[in-house]
Amino acid sequence: MQQLLTECVNYFKKKKVYNKLFNALRKKYASLGHMGGTINLKGLPSNERHDLEGFLKKDFGAADNIKISFTLMEKSLKQSRFASLSWEEILTAYFEEPLVIKKQEKAEEIHSKNSFFTKCILYLEQNYNTDNTNIQDILKWFADIWQQNGKGRQILIKMYNEDNKTRSGSSSKENTYIFITKIFKAFASLPYLKNQTLTMPVFAAQTTGNPHFFDLNTPACRLLISFIESLPGTDIEQTGLSEAEYMENLFYKAGILKDSVSNMCLAYGIHAIKKDGSMHEGIEGYYSEKEPVQITLKTLSTLGKIWTGKNHPETGVEKTTEIEKIYIVENPSVFSYLVDIYPDKAFICGNGQFKLAFYITLELLEDKTLLYYAGDFDADGLLIAQKLKNRYSSQVKLWAYNPEYYNSHISDVKLSNIALTKLEKVTAPELQQIKQCLLEHKRAVYQEAMLEAYILED
């Protein structure tokens, strides 16, 4: 019987048309759960049509769409020298694997995924203390995206399915398993858990061995974002933030810095306390010397509070209950001018588009601190002012946004059509008068030209 089956398979494998026919029949079997139904074959060349007619003993004519019933196939088989065989036996031997019904296939797929999920959970249980809050967060996150529909699910499912294709017949899904164990190790070692900060490449290298493992837009990076978003206390107000700014803020919450040195904020007249309660002597030194200080993200990650004024806890004098003010300007040259003119005030320089260090500095300021902001009178300048106002609401006071200053200092710089289009996005009520001036005259006014507008009270 085995020899006859081998001869039968060899016979059909010599003729290409039977591969098309048998694939269609196998799909029909999976759908119906038994042999039956009708197979449609389209666009067969004449030689393949001839091969079918020879075995099935039927003239299909010139029709483009050939319909072959299983009844005809069964009848033709019984009239051939392979009559003692069944089509189930033939197809199983032809494809070298058992025929599968879709319901059965689905059940096996679900079982395989559940087994893989259990294997990943077992890794966590064997390698980490599951009483640890962070490990519980990982377990909850993984269960949510694997078994339900959490953010990041499609990334893992796609990886799992591709691994399944490349490792046919294997249930280990080795590549996906190794990837998941690496992200588990990384998630269990987020720097904020030890009150530390690390740059992304260093964090990735220490936890996965590859400094590029969490590079932007990789599957690993998207899953890292998904996990951090799931953690308690990592909610971030996204109003006015670009996607890049949002991710920088999110990573910072977890103690991960995109860039710890070049991302900085220029400030003057501030004090700072570190997270351990001690004064930051470096920043205090700049305050005493009446010099500006560039505060990097690395430094900011060590701080617990920033404030202005002369009083601080080490003096033994209670902090004043008066509302403190800090003046923020867009341009470094204006910042430098105001520091020289008003050495007893506090200033921050936004230096154009705000970086994460700028926002972290503002977040560390005491809540009662008022933020006075002044910037250029052009499309980008107004949008920067609006972003700050939207984010900090009543805490921000727009400073010197007066049409008189605009009319007195109109420059020769014409606004481009792109800039005029940008002005449509300026909706803050406090900026409407300047917006109308720009639309009318189509020329910019820059801070450096109207220094006399920035007069401060003693």
Indicate if the pLDDT at residue 12 is higher than 70.
Answer: yes
pLDDT for position 223: 94
Q: Strand 38-42 vs strand 65-69: parallel, antiparallel, or unpaired? A: antiparallel
pLDDT for position 316: 41
pLDDT for position 179: 93
pLDDT for position 109: 72
The SS3 call for residue 414 is: strand
pLDDT for position 100: 74
Query: 168-215 pLDDT, tens per residue?
Result: 444 457 888 999 999 999 999 999 898 888 889 999 999 999 999 999
pLDDT for position 335: 93
Q: Dihedral of CA 34/40/45/46: which sign? A: positive
Of the segments 24-38, 330-344, 352-366, which one has the largest average pLDDT value?
A: 330-344
- Measured between alpha carbons, how far is 348 from 167 in angstroms, rounded to an integer? 58
- Measured between alpha carbons, how far is 155 from 219 in angstroms, rounded to an integer? 6
Measured from the Cβ of residue 318, the count of other Cβ atoms closer than 10 Å reads 8
Measured from the Cβ of residue 54, the count of other Cβ atoms closer than 10 Å reads 11
What integer best gives the mean pLDDT of the chain?
86
Measured from the Cβ of residue 323, the count of other Cβ atoms closer than 10 Å reads 9
- Measured between alpha carbons, how far is 395 from 398 in angstroms, rounded to an integer? 10
* Residue 210 token pair: 């590859």
Ranges of each domain in the chain = 2-100, 109-257, 264-453
Query: 311-333 pLDDT, tens per residue?
Result: 555 544 345 445 688 999 999 99
Indicate if the pLDDT at residue 118 is higher than 80.
Answer: yes
The SS3 call for residue 270 is: strand
pLDDT for position 156: 86
pLDDT for position 315: 44
CA distance between the termini of the chain: 107
Crossing angle (nearest 10°) for helices 379-392 and 432-441:
170
The fold for domain 264-453 equals Dna Topoisomerase Vi A Subunit; Chain: A, domain 2 (3.40.1360)
pLDDT for position 237: 62
pLDDT for position 161: 81
- Measured between alpha carbons, how far is 420 from 442 in angstroms, rounded to an integer? 8
Indicate if the pLDDT at residue 98 is higher than 90.
Answer: no
The pTM for the full model equals: 0.60
pLDDT for position 233: 75
